[in-house]
Amino acid sequence: MSRLSVPPPDDVTDGAQGVLDTIGAQFGFVPNMFATLASNPTVLDVVMTLQGSLSRVLDAKTRHTIALAVSQANGCDYCLAVHTYVSSKFGGMSSDDIDLARAGSSVDPKRAAVARFAQQVVESRGQVSDADLAAVRGAGYTDPQILAIVTVAVQVLLTNFINNVNQTDVDIPAVSAASTSG
């Protein structure tokens, strides 16, 4: 059961309600995480602005791969469910590629390097080795793209932390456990 409260509809500000309406139109419902964030419109705005801004820094499949890899490394069941749903329904990723991303890999060698690097960023709390950087560079990523990878990973950590603290009730089809070896 979620540990933070979802505001009653009458307590949601007009601005936050507009955001929830947009999310509801995209998903067909308002996921619990966003309903909870509506209790603090500033936090909802920060999360949505960050997600919107970062949607321009890397291609969608790479961002989905990072989200899945980071959510798996951080043990966020809610985010795994959301990112699996979004990656499949909107991102065009196969279930095999979703499972591989969660395990720090991909069917695409370049995205496999991103998944491994993103998980290393999480597991090392950003203290990646020279070899980690060399591997992601060797896959073809530039330093500006590496900055984007780290920023997307941190944005995913933000929602992972929110949902792990809240123990947000999963309202999206739950995902099964995947291998974490890559």
Whether the per-residue pLDDT at 176 is higher than 50: the answer is: yes
- Compute the distance between CA of residue 19 and CA of residue 10 in angstroms, rounded to an integer: 15
pLDDT band at 4 (very low <50, low <70, confident <90, very high): very high
Map out the domains of the chain as residue ranges.
10-54, 60-166
CATH 1.20.1290.10 fits 60-166, yes or no: yes
Cβ-Cβ contacts under 8 Å for 58 (sequence gap 6 or more) = 66, 145, 148, 149, 152
pLDDT above 90 covers a percentage of the chain that reads 89
Q: Which residue has the tokens 């944005």?
A: 155
Mean pLDDT along residues 105-132: 96
Residues in the chain: 182
pTM: 0.92
pLDDT band at 181 (very low <50, low <70, confident <90, very high): very low
- The chain-wide mean pLDDT, for the chain, equals 93
Q: Which residue has the tokens 């070896």?
A: 181
Mean pLDDT along residues 3-30: 94
Paired tokens of 138: 């060797």
